[in-house]
Every structure is written in structure tokens, then in C-alpha cells.
Chain A
Amino acid sequence: MHAASRRGSAGPGAFLGNVAQGSRKDARDAVVAARAAGSGWAGATAYNRGQVLYRVAEVMQGRAAQLAAEVAEAEGLSAARAATTVAAAIDRWVWYAGWSDKLAQVVGNLNPVAGPYFNISAPSPTGVVAVLAPQGSSLLGLTSVIAPVIVSGNTCVVIASQDRPIPAVTLAEIFATSDLPGGVVNLITGRTAEIAPWLASHRDVNAIDLTGAADATGVDWGALEAAAADNLKRVLRPEGDGPAAREPDWTAPPGLHRMTAFLEIKTVWHPKGR
């Protein structure tokens, strides 16, 4: 959603282009957009959400070469490594796309209560999720934090990697040209340390993923978690030990936890009678 102009020339610290610097007001507007998109996206069928995510993978495939070049430039990877990374990112969209209509079956339950009641526990989306995208892995990491949030019906506001935003800009274009409804993913490029506190304290944000706090300049994830306590946001902490935050190995199998972290188990009771 933010246009970027780019110039060539790779290498660490090299100038790749100008990207829009998001402000707290962009974050505020993004939350409004995410909230507005919430009921439609959560209300879509799981089958439909799966198709939308798969379509993202298809469109990425069509722009794989461009993405590989951008990832190579952003992350300083060889062309081969960058291509592998893009392929992994596309595969990840496909993987998560498949989860849309299986998640409730895997994490839901029929509960055998001791009484004449039908009792079922099923996941529902948490709502609007703020996501601090990883600083290092500009496309695979970014994919790995967005897809699990939206596959279950959440909408999100994502702060892209501060120093490696260009793949995120392209991914935003891909979202815009795929079938993803507007407002489901809102990508902001800019300084994480500047924008994140506004999202952490925002009372219309239901959850926050602090994964991108690792290696983000000037970001204290503990302070963000404390701010999130004001409306009891669900918080996905960054990996690591103690106060240290570490960016995960994005090539490892993702597991369920990034999806389940942003689900609410809702339990419904009903009598069984004649």
C-alpha cells in the first residue's frame, strides 16, 4: 500500500531506495481499516480464506524473480539463496492456506460434559492483531508472521522490517492485486520503535506479535508488553531467553503456535432434550 521507488546496487548498507515512512497516524488509520475489515474476513468461509491465501502464493509465484532480487538486495543473499527463500515463502503461504479449514478441527473439541448438554469448543479469531515483522527475514519471516494471523480470520496491522522494507512493499502490491479484501493486511513501513508503542497501547487492537522486536533499534519488547496490558492484549513474545529477543529460524517447520496465539476458544452449551 505504500509506493516505493528503487534504485539498484546491492551490498550491506547500500542505498536501495526511498520507502514511505509510516507515522503513528498511519498506524491509527490502519487499525480503523483492520477493524472495518474484521467482520467480513472472519465471516468468510474457511474455504474462501484458504483460497485467498493460496491466491497470494500464486501471485507471488508470478513475481518470484522480482521478489528474489529484492530479497537478495535486502538481505545480502546470493541469487540462489534468495530464490530458495522466495520459494520457501511461497510454500509457506500454501501451507497456511491449507490450514484455514482444518484449524477448527484440530484445535476444537466436543466436550463430554456430565449432563444433558451439547458442548463444543471452537476457535474464533482474536480480532485486530498488531504485528512487528522480523527485522532480518524480510520476506519469508514477514510471510511467516502474517499468514498465521490472517488464516483464521484475524486482520492485522504490520510494521515491516525497518531496514529491509522493499520486499514488504512488493508483498503489499501482491496483496492489492490478489483476492485479499482491503484492510485485512495493512502494511506499514517505517521505524518500528516509533510506531510500535502506538499499536501496543491502542485499545482497539486485540493482540500484538512482538517477534520483530529482535534486533529492532530502540525497541524494548518488555515495555511494549507492559503497554499491551492496558486492554489485556494477547501478546506473542519474541523468542529468546530472559529479556533477550532472538529472531526465529524461519526455515524450521512453523507448528501451530503462531495461529493458536491469535485464536479465542469459544465454548457453546445447549441442552439436549425432546
Chain B
Amino acid sequence: MTRFDYAPAPESRAVVTIADSYGLFVGGDFVPASGPSFPTVNPATEEVLAEIGQASAADVDRAVAAARTAYEGVWGRLSGAERGKYLFRIARILQERAREFAVLETLDNGKPITESRDVDVPLAAAHFFYHAGWADKLGYAGLGGSPAEPPRPVGVVGQVIPWNFPLLMLAWKIAPALACGNTVVLKPAETTPLTALLFAQVCQEADLPPGVVNIVTGAGPTGQALVEHPGVDKLAFTGSTEVGKLIARSVAGTRKRATLELGGKAANIVFEDAAIDQAVEGIVRGIFFNQGHVCCAGSRLLVQESIHDEVVHRLKRRLATIRVGDPMDKNTDLGAINSATQLARVREMTAVGQAEGAERWSPACTLPDRGFWFAPTVFTGVSQAHRIAQEEIFGPVLSVLTFRTPAEAVAKANNTPYGLSAGVWTEKGSRILWMADQLRAGVVWANTFNQFDPTSPFGGLKESGYGREGGRHGLGPYLTTGATR
């Protein structure tokens, strides 16, 4: 060996046991689905991990009924302190079984083990801890009611989550819902159901009353059955803007509430006075974290014209050190694209980018033969009119644009129907605050990017959806008395 090549450092998968097939989790028990099963595959290898039950409308109906029974019989009557204890217990079990969850998440999702281990799972546990503490303090939250008479839960909540952060999105949904006294029926994404099903076991281990959490697996029709079910009082959805609009239409004219956390096309704005090395890291974290499968990804780099060449040079040099490959290897930075469908979408959009005349670049990297893979990709010479500057790609693809003045940066950043997040990199404090005021985004990361915390509300403006998740604001949608946030 004459070079410092990192030897393979694979995480052991022995820590998880994956069953051949899984049913639904309804009323505290695993029950068979009435629909046909479908496989969930490891996107890094295309290996079938398990057969998953497809919940039919009748199955969803049973799950909603179980949630209603649990709400009216037990959970809705339980004191906040008692609810909190269950959530604390769940949080602790998640920590104790963290390695198992991390390995399973990586196998099912394709994300690097370091990310599932260091981000997804610890944050999921943190969400349960945070919300556990709220359960008996809701009257102090300033959302209506009083300490003696806290605001009321909404009832039965239907939750539909995406495949990019399967366990973490489950935690974002279930923790506040339960803390506020609601019961839930949650549908994990079709391609990543396994950690939700393992979470169902955690609910059993925590002695959570049956029916408080119900997990129904399946694809679009299962989600639709849940969304349209008249017994659901509130919907919480994270996913595409397209589906979000369908849900908004579906609840129109009813008294069903909805919160929607949808797509984005965030601008990551780098000024010439930025701390350049950290800005480059922020660009990388912004778009290559989790293979770019992040709704708030910094997919549009807006760089001040005077430092465009230098930033692109530094970015390319940095990307040459990105390690693409086996997600189970502890040295992998960029894992597999989650599904063949998503890979096709990323390929299509990058072809569009080339056809539009943008200059395409990727570092030299060898992609595995099997599985769904896409090299980190940078498009330079992109303008606002290009589709790759307008449409969410949801993959490791960065579009680089330029600006000359702060006002132009703001105008370009806001020139999108989305409004989820934005990044600003400058060493000038007053400019950061001015930019933060001007940017039409629900989250503004200044001199950092893609940071998440249970105490920090997350959610979008415009077509990125409505409602907030996390923090005090995230409780509002799950409570009925008084104000909604």
C-alpha cells in the first residue's frame, strides 16, 4: 500500500433481524394485510429485504377504528403526565436500540450508515424526548387553554411520510401527535417501511396502549384511503407538492385539518466575503447530504459573480474527496439513490440540464454495478429559466447560478413557487439579518445549512406547504383550543 486508501469498514448487519414478510400494525398487534404484498429492496444491492403487506381501504378503516377506540377509550383521557411517560420510554428504547435502527434504516433506504447513526436515529429519539416533556405542559404553551385546562387534542390523525428520512419523519409526526393526546394511523413510504415496523415493536415494548399508534404499509392507494377516510380528524403529510395539493383538495369543504410539508428548491447564497471553506462545506452539506433526498436541500447555489470561479474550483476539489458507495461502509459519504423510480427522475432531470446547455460535471468515481447509483453532479452556467433551476430534482445534483448584488440574490432566491428553506453565507452580520427578512422561506440557515432540532420549527411558505413541525409551533396543529399556532 503506497497511498492512504481507506480499507472497507463495513458496519455489521448482524444486529438486525429482518422477517421474510410483515403485516400491518393495528390495535397493538401485527395483522396480515388483505391486499397483495410488495417487496422492499435494499437500493444499494437490489436485494429483496422483505415482503410488505399492502393495506387496503378496509385495512385502513380498521386502523382508523382502532385509533378512534384508543383515543376515546384510553389515550384522550390519559393525563399529560402519563402520556409523557410513554413517550419518554419510547425515546429511551430508541436510544437503546439505536444501532439496530441505524442499520435497518441504511439497508432499507440506502443512506450512509454514518448519517443514519449520527443524524436520523439520534434526532428521532430527541424528538420523542422533547415532546414527552410537552405532554403535561400544553397549558403553558400559549396555544389556548390554561395550565388547569390545557388545549384539547384533535382526535385521530392520519400521517403519511416520505422515504428520505423514514424513522425521523415518523418521529416528527408521531411524537407531537401523541404528546398532544391524539392517536395516529401512519403510513410509511412504500420503499422504506422497515423502521416504521420496527418502531411498532418499540410501541409494544413500551406498553403503549393498543391502537394509539397504528402503522399501515402500502403505496399511493393506501395513502389515499387514509387521506380520504372520514374518521380522520387531521392529516399530516410530508412529500411532494403535487400530492400535497391533492390532499389540500381532498380536505376542502370538510372540517378535517391538514399540515403539509412539501417540496423545495432552496437557494444557498454565497457572498464574496463568506468564510469560504465553511461555505463550501455548507454547499456540500446542503445538496449532497442524504444523496440530495432532502426537501430543504440547497439545490440552487447562488454565488456572487466575483467569486464564482473560486467557489466552483474549491467545490470541485472538495467533491473529489466524496466517497460514493456501500452505504454500510462507515467511510461512505454518498449512498444509494432510494429507488429505481427516483434514479430515473434524477437521470431525466440531468439530461434536461445538459440539453438546456448547462455545463455538467462530476468527480471521477466508480459506481457499484448493482443497485441505484448516481454520482454527485454539478451544473454550472445555469440560469433561472432552466428547468434544473426551477424543478425539484431530489437527488445529488447542484445547479450553480450567479448574482451581483444582495437585492439580485434575494430576487432570484424568491423567484420560485417554493419557499421551504434558504442559505446565506456572509461574514457581515447586518446583511444576514436583512437577507433573513427578505427571503421567502420557512427556514433560513445563515453560515450553516441542513441543521435540524426538535425545538426548532420547520416548515415552508408558498407551495412548500403549511404548518410547522417541531418546537412550540409544531404543537399547534395537533391541538384544538384557541389559536392554531
Contact = CB atoms under 8 A, between A and B. Distances in A.
Q: Do A and B touch directly, given a CB cutoff of 8 Å in the complex? A: yes
Interface stretch (A63-71, A79-87, A111-119): A111-119
Contacts of B432: 270
Given A226-B249, A255-B482, A257-B484, A270 B448 contact: yes
B451 A232 contact: no
Interface residues of B, number: 47
B455 A112 contact: yes
A234 B419 CA distance: 14
A4 interface: no
A225 B457 contact: no
B473 interface: yes
A231 interface: yes
B466 A232 contact: yes
Given A119-B455, A119-B456, A269-B444, A256 B245 contact: no
B254 A222 contact: yes
A252 B255 CA distance: 22
Contacts of A242: 254-255
Interface stretch (A174-182, A183-191, A259-267): A259-267
Contact of B457 (A223, A230, A265): A265
Given A264-B442, A269-B443, A232 B483 contact: no
Interface-central residue, A119, A220, A242, by most chain B CB under 10 Å: A119
Contacts of B448: 117, 269-271
A117 B443 contact: no
Given A121-B473, A231-B417, A266-B444, A243 B485 contact: no
B473 A109 contact: yes
Contacts of A228: 248, 252
A107 B485 contact: yes
A119 B253 contact: no
B466 A263 contact: no
A158 B71 CA distance: 40
B465 interface: yes
A253 to B, nearest CB: 11
B472 A109 contact: yes
A44 interface: no
A261 B477 CA distance: 12
| Nearest 9 A/B pairs, CB to CB | A222-B253, A229-B248, A225-B252, A226-B252, A113-B453, A256-B483, A111-B455, A229-B249, A270-B446
11 contacts: A113-B451, A119-B453, A226-B249, A242-B254, A255-B144, A260-B484, A263-B485, A265-B468, A265-B485, A267-B456, A270-B446
Interface of A: 106-107, 109, 111-115, 117, 119, 121, 124, 126, 206, 220-223, 225-226, 228-232, 234-235, 237, 241-243, 255-257, 260-261, 263-271
